[in-house]
Each structure stands twice: as C-alpha cells, then as structure tokens.
C-alpha cells in the first residue's frame, strides 16, 4: 500500500494511484515480442496471474472502504512501455503508456477488466475506483475502450485541436477528460500556466495535468543508461 493512500476525511479529496504491478519479469520475459502477430494478451498470462491481479484489486477496494476513503478517486494506471523491458529490470510487452496500435488498447482493456472485477468482487461501497490511461493518440482509439476507461489523459494540444472528437469520447465512453502539457518556463510569467488551465476548462476538460520537463529529461537519461549509452 502506498504511503500516499494514507489520508483521512479532512484531506480525502485527492486523486491517488494504486501500486498494482503488472511487470512481473518471470511472466513478461516469456511473452511474444511487441508485434501485430503477437498472441492476444488474454492467452499470454496464466489464470493464476489473472486471479492474483483480481484479488489484489479487491484488497485495495476493501482497504479503502474500511478507511472510509469515499471522496478520493483511486486510479489504476499502467504506464510502462515495451522498450523499457529490452535490457532493463522490468517493463511490459505492450505500450501501456501512449498506446499506438490495437494490441496496446487490448492490453489496457485486459487490465481494466481485471481491475473492475476485483473492485466488484470486494463488494466495497462508497468508494471511487477508476481506471486511467494516458492516451496521446485519442484519434486512433475509437470506441474500443468504451466502458473500461473512466479517466483519459490526453495532450492539451489534442484537446484544443480536436475538441469535438474528445467531447464525443467523454460523453460516449463515458470518461473524465484531463489535458496534460508543460508548465511555463521560469523566465516566463506564471500567468501562462493559469491561462492554460482556464483554456482546458473552456474546452470542456475536467482537469489539467502539468508535465515537468525536468522529469522527462531524467527518464530520458535513465533509458539511455539502460541501453549502454544509446539514446532511444
């Protein structure tokens, strides 16, 4: 259980991520390469793995209900990418963060279904558990994740450039629409970031998520280190 989940009703209004791992090396390393010919994800994991994921999700829901965390939205979010598992300690065979082909969305739907099965199995009441995905190419998603993705994180530029498409996703799926983007540089007025959040609201986004460029640089250097100095 993450420390970030330790809160009471006085501060029980945040969104928190659940630490449900999906990069089990003993299983992942036996999977097919990320390829359009790969086996469906449902056939790639043993039933024991699926059962464990469902039970893990149920435990989280039960714990949240016992703590009466009724106002905090607890997110299940898988954000690994397949290139992270080439030489590194873990990863996934699919693009869970920023999916870009059908197999990726199918993997997201697979985990979402297991997650929801676990929450339902727990019988927990008055708790808010949502499945989140960061989708940078929402124009490719169509209706494939309808009913399985309660929170969609999309680039702010996409929210501004394709507002009718994303509003349709928001109402049809249904899903909360959150736009992400970089904050203003230190040399620029902070008012720019405030204006960006207001623009997200005008375009019917339910929230704004700031992406810190410093973190992006750290991740880039980490990946470069894993690949022996070769930049990805």
Angle at the Cα of 209 from the Cα atoms of 41 and 19, rounded to 5 degrees: 45
Give pLDDT, residue 50. Answer: 93
CB-based contact 212:72 (threshold 8 Å)? no
- Output the CA–CA distances (angstroms, integers) from residue 197 to 174, 176, 183, 225, in the order listed: 22, 15, 10, 35
pTM: 0.75
| Mean pLDDT, rounded, of the chain | 78
Strands (E), the chain: 15-17, 73-77, 128-134, 151-155, 176-182, 207-211
| Domain at 3-226: CATH code | 3.20.20
pLDDT at site 35:
55
Q: Which residue has the higher pLDDT, 12 or 4?
A: 12
Mean pLDDT score, 91-106: 83
Residue 110 or 16, more confident: 110
Mean pLDDT confidence for 25-50: 67
- Grouping H, G, I as helix, E, B as strand and the rest as coil, residue 37 is coil
> Which of 197, 200, 208, 206 has the alpha carbon at shortest distance from 170?
206
Poorest-confidence range of 84-93, 95-104, 113-122, 150-159? 84-93
For residues 41 and 213, give the distance between their C-alpha atoms in angstroms, rounded to a whole number. Answer: 33
Two tokens at 99? 């999916």
pLDDT of residue 118: 95
Name the DSSP letter for residue 81.
-
- Residue 59, pLDDT > 50, answer yes
Q: Residue 177: what pLDDT? A: 92
């Amino acid at each position: 259980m993450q420390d970030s989940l330790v809160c009471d009703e006085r501060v029980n209004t945040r969104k928190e991520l659940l630490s449900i791992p999906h990069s089990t090396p003993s299983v992942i390393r036996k999977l097919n390469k990320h390829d359009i010919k790969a086996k469906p994800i449902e056939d790639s994991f043993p039933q024991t793995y699926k059962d464990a994921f469902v039970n893990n999700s149920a435990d989280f829901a039960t714990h949240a209900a016992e703590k009466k965390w009724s106002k905090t939205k607890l997110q299940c979010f898988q954000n690994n990418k397949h290139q992270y598992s080439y030489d590194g300690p873990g990863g996934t065979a699919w693009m869970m963060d920023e999916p870009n082909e059908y197999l990726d969305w199918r993997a997201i739907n697979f985990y979402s279904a297991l997650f929801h099965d676990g929450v339902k199995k727990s019988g927990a009441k008055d708790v808010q558990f949502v499945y989140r995905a960061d989708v940078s190419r929402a124009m490719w998603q169509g209706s494939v994740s309808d009913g399985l993705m309660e929170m969609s994180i999309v680039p702010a530029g996409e929210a501004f450039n394709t507002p009718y498409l994303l509003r349709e996703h928001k109402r049809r799926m249904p899903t909360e629409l959150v736009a992400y983007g970089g904050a203003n540089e230190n040399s620029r007025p902070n008012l720019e970031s405030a204006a960006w959040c207001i623009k997200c609201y005008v375009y019917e986004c339910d929230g704004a998520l700031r992406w810190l460029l410093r973190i992006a640089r750290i991740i880039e250097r980490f990946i470069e280190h894993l690949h022996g100095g070769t930049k990805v």
